[in-house]
Amino acid sequence: MEKKPVTAVILGAGHRATIYGDVSLSRPDKLKIVAVADPSEERRSLAAARYNIPSSRVFSDLESLVAAGRLADAVINGTMDAQHVPTSLPLLALGYDMLLEKPFATSPRELAALYVAACGKGCRVFVCHVLRYSSFYLGIRRALAEGAIGKIITINMAEDISYPHMVVSYVRGMWNNETTGTPLLLAKSCHDIDLMLWLMGDNPPRTVYSLGGDYVFDADKAPADAGSRCLLDCPREKECPYSARKHYLLRKNCHDFYIWPRPGMTEAEKEASLRKDNPYGRCVWKCGHQGVDHQSVTIGFADGALGVFTLTGGAPRDERRIQIVGTEGSITGVFEENRFVIRRHDETKVYMEKTVEENISAYDKHGGGDEALVLDFCDYLSGEKPSLSCSELSDSLNGHLAIFAAEKSRRTGKVVSLGL
């Protein structure tokens, strides 16, 4: 018998939820979007038109959605970080399964509340750790499972955030911690810590130590004569590498959906917006940036193996690198090159997994992982066995717990035990 597509409600019809929802357009046999809830009338209208949702199933807030009862098999929760758990709990109480954007919780207390709620109702919650589904990391995971380099001794991972990306999202943008309360390590690099623990397999983390700080964007680092807004009162605008003019008017930017208050603005309207009240027109040193722009995390695992992750915000380009050394060889690679090399003690072997670029959406910055995650979620809800990449809530707990421990360690200067 032919399986019916999984039906889903979109909660928070922003960029990420729309990417996941668009799988329903390319694979209507797998997913059907039947309702949307979002406080923005524009986003609600766009989603309703995009997915052919009737007006009776378009909601302006969570309360209205909950009052309507269970309308679908699942919810795609694409709300902001601090809203993930508060919005998820009443929907889990209705019995919805859920595709939940990362980070799925912002504190150990939230994590526990979400886990108890999901288990209590028997709901299946997938966390959007999309990089598990990329051909690059999945290829490494398979190689490790096949014993390609023996037992892991050390994992070294690094994520560089390009200076335009760092500034647009984590200094001027919504994740500068003013509104989300989410540290950079959790907001951006929970992917990487999750990957490290996933690659380690059944070897759980035991201790965490972390160092970090705000090297570039601390308010005290501002030039003495810097203005408050690049295009309004700053004499250094033309020479400043973080000029809002350079970043948002002269350069094509993949974050336009965040920067501009409405689509279709003229260049003159955009410049006036940056000059007046657009948050992306502020001086980078006068944005109230809270948190770090660089951080290292060392994780000790149960069998004595070590994992080290280094995050740097403000690099020339976005890049993720990995080196794993085992008892019989090593694996090294760069995610953006979609290629990794296995070197064994007795031979050298190049192992490559290439994704067919034509099959990847222009908006999929995760090596094809966005679509693959959604399809795996749909298959799982339809009765298929969990895949190797499965990012169900129970598989993702340790990654978030390690990040909470890292933040505690960074603030106290002490090694933190996870007590697992």
What's the pLDDT tens digit per position in 59-91? 999 999 999 999 999 999 999 999 999 999 999
In a domain, 375, yes or no: no
* Dist. CA 217–CA 293, nearest whole Å: 7
CA 371 to chain centre: 14
List pLDDT tens digits, range 317-348. Answer: 999 999 999 999 999 999 998 889 999 887 66
Instruction: Give yes or no: residues 70 and 46 share one domain.
Output: yes
The answer to whether residues 229 and 276 belong to one domain is: yes
pLDDT surpasses 90 at 279: yes
DSSP class per residue in 213-255: E-SSS-GGGS-TT--SBHHHH-TTTTT-TT-HIIIIISS--TT
Q: Is residue 363 one of the residues assigned to a domain? A: no
Does residue 371 lie in a domain region?
no
What average pLDDT does the segment 265-275 reach?
A: 95
pLDDT digits (tens, 9 = 90+) for 190-205: 999 999 999 999 999 9
- Cis previous bond, 316, omega within 30: no
Asked if residues 7 and 32 have their Cβ atoms less than 8 Å apart, the reply is yes
Number of domains, the chain: 3
231/213 same-domain check:
no
Do residues 39 and 61 touch, judged by C-beta distance below 8 A? yes
pLDDT at 368 over 90: no
Q: Is there a domain that residue 378 lies in?
A: no
Q: What is the pLDDT of residue 344?
A: 87
Q: Are residues 153 and 301 in the same domain?
A: yes
Same domain? For 144 and 177 the reply is yes
Which CATH number fits the domain that encloses residue 59?
3.40.50.720
Last residue of a domain, one of 83, 111, 127: 127
Q: Residue 397: which domain range?
A: 132-217+289-357+393-417
Q: Is residue 123 a part of any domain in this protein?
A: yes
Those residues with Cβ within 8 angstroms of residue 240's Cβ, 6 or more apart along the chain or in another chain? 230, 234, 246
Identify whether residues 229 and 117 lie together within a single domain.
no
**Residue 299 included in any domain:** yes
Per the domain annotation, does 184 fall within a domain?
yes
Q: What is the mean pLDDT of the chain?
A: 92
> What are 115-163's pLDDT values in tens digits?
999 999 999 999 999 999 998 999 999 999 999 999 999 999 999 999 9
Domain identity same for 243 and 165: no
- Using the predicted structure, report yes or no on whether residue 221 has a pLDDT greater than 90: yes
What predicted TM-score, i.e. pTM, was given to this entire model?
0.91
pLDDT in tens, 232-249: 999 999 999 999 999 999
